A and B are shown apart, each in its own frame.
Chain A
């Protein structure tokens, strides 16, 4: 990092979106100041840096804010050229963006619903999650990481929500989503992913996360019941 570069990350310890950005910052060796945010009583800094969505993560580089994890990651990749997260070739970049999008839409958002629902509705979302996993298993087959055999890329980073959150959601929502026998390539991928020093060093405390997610589920179920 050059002299005079100031990088701040507004985050929250439990956010998988913030985690993604931390991983990229680490992979690129970028020094930054981390500012933990209170998501209930939001700081003026957060509200002025992300006035549209008022949420984390927000990266502030030399005073200029960038919001939304995927755009922050592309910004970091555009600005710090070492250890590229996206491929150089336009077609491969388009594929990486496609899969990142797919994971967000068809897996991450679906897992949020699994957490907030019960009964038949939850069952349907578990099926949806499995459809996505099947497709991802097919896309990964034969490779160590989605980014290639040596390094992780954008798709691995976005799918990082799987190894870090799936166990927690399954335990709290009392449901089984991921079967390693059905998805052997993804199961291996999860092991390899969690072994990477960059990832290993920055996982949230599991017990703390369990307690937090448990509270979230109760809140969401109560909300659904009062509608």
Chain B
């Protein structure tokens, strides 16, 4: 019986992008449905009644929510193709740790840089750069966070490379100057088909986010 896989997402969401990348890595065919954040579909509300947010993966009628949970699910179900999590338990724990670090630090600090001004922006920017440098140290000389192959942490972080240009503009910083290895890593990842076909144009993201920033700061 063929699998029925549906992904509910939003085009600019880095969390939805993670799932698209994971599905592409595994060669899974799926139907993508674009959600409207201001007019959520009955399907979304039915499949994620608790959080009412995307991404939601619906596999043969059963919903899985939260991007890192979905990516782990995809890795466990389609386990014969391109493993994303390492097989060694300690390395797996490290991968989960750093992916969570992206959620806890990079997303939230980046969001502050995106939406604030003045002192709040400065404070967030300093902390964001510190966290990027920690990630750079973790990457070391490896081509990917997963080692020789693209892995779980790479999937978690790469959608945020769309925001690098934004951080630079809003925060008056240079990602190349602050974290050159991370910038290289992002270029390397973006060359992969699973990534390039899942991530929209950086400029389009920047313009979209800047519009929201303008509206936010005029409140």
Q: A residues touching B (Cβ–Cβ < 8 Å)?
A: 52, 61, 64, 66-68, 70-72, 74-75, 78-79, 90-91, 93-94, 97-98, 101-102, 135
Known: A68-B100, A71-B100, A93-B76. A98 touches B90 (CB 8 A): no
Report whether B50 and A97 are in contact in the complex, using a CB–CB cutoff of 8 Å.
no
CB atoms of A64 and B90 under 8 A apart: yes
Contact A66 B93 (CB under 8 A): yes
Question: Which chain B residues border A93 with CB–CB below 8 Å?
Answer: 72-73, 76
The answer to whether A71 touches B96 (Cβ under 8 A) is yes
- Taken together as a complex, chains A and B put the C-alpha atoms of A135 and B49 apart, in Å, by 10
**Chain B interface residue number, banded:** 20 to 34
Question: Would A71 and B93 be within 8 Å (CB), given that A90-B77, A94-B73, A101-B69 are in contact?
Answer: yes
Is B21's CB within 8 Å of the partner chain A? no
- Bound CA span A70–B89, Å: 14
Interface segment, one of B59-67, B163-171, B199-207: B59-67
CB pairs A–B below 8 angstroms (7 shown): A68-B100, A74-B92, A74-B96, A91-B62, A93-B76, A98-B69, A101-B66
User: B97 to chain A: which residues have CB within 8 Å?
Assistant: 52, 66-68, 71
Q: Give complex CA distance A102, B73 in Å.
A: 17
In addition to A91-B73, A97-B69, A101-B69, 5 A-B residue pairs with Cβ atoms within 8 Å of each other are: A52-B134, A74-B96, A91-B59, A94-B69, A102-B50
**A78 adjacent to B92 (CB under 8 Å):** yes
CB interface residues, B 55-100, toward A, < 8 Å: 59, 62, 64-66, 69-70, 72-73, 76-77, 89-90, 92-94, 96-97, 100
Describe A's contact surface by its main secondary structure.
Answer: helix
A-B contact count (CB 8 A): 56
Residues B73 and A75 in contact, CB atoms below 8 Å apart:
no
Interchain residue pairs A-B with the least CB separation, the first 8? A78-B89, A90-B76, A75-B93, A94-B73, A66-B93, A94-B64, A71-B96, A97-B69
Query: Which residues of chain A have C-beta atoms less than 8 A from B51's C-beta?
Result: 102
Complex: A93 Cα to B79 Cα, angstroms: 15
A47 to chain B, nearest CB (A): 14
Which residues of chain A come closer than 8 Å to B77, judged between CB atoms? Answer: 90
Residues of B within 8 A of A70 (CB): 96
Check B101–A52 contact: CB distance below 8 A: yes
In the bound assembly, the distance between CA atoms of A3 and B108 in angstroms comes to: 44
- Whose C-beta in chain A lies nearest to the C-beta of B99? A71
Q: For A75, give the chain B residue with the smallest CB separation.
A: B93
Interfacial chain B residues near A75, Cβ < 8 Å: 89-90, 92-93
- Cβ–Cβ < 8 Å partners of A90 in chain B: 73, 76-77
Q: Contact: A66 with B90, CB < 8 Å?
A: yes
A92 to B97, CA, bound (A): 22
Chain A min CB distance to B103 (Å): 10
Q: Across the interface, name the chain B residue whose C-beta is closest to A91.
A: B62
Name which residue of chain B comes closest to A73, CB basis: B93
C-alpha gap A67/B64 in the complex (Å): 26
The chain A residue with its CB closest to the CB of B138 is A52
Contacts of B90 in A (CB 8 A): 61, 64, 66, 75
A222 to chain B, nearest CB (A): 22
CB distance from B166 to the nearest CB of A (A): 25
Q: B89, A97: Cβ atoms under 8 Å?
A: no
Is B64 a contact of A91 with CB atoms below 8 Å?
A: yes
Cα separation A101 to B64 with both chains bound (whole Å): 13
Q: Chain B's nearest CB lies how many Å from the CB of A82?
A: 15
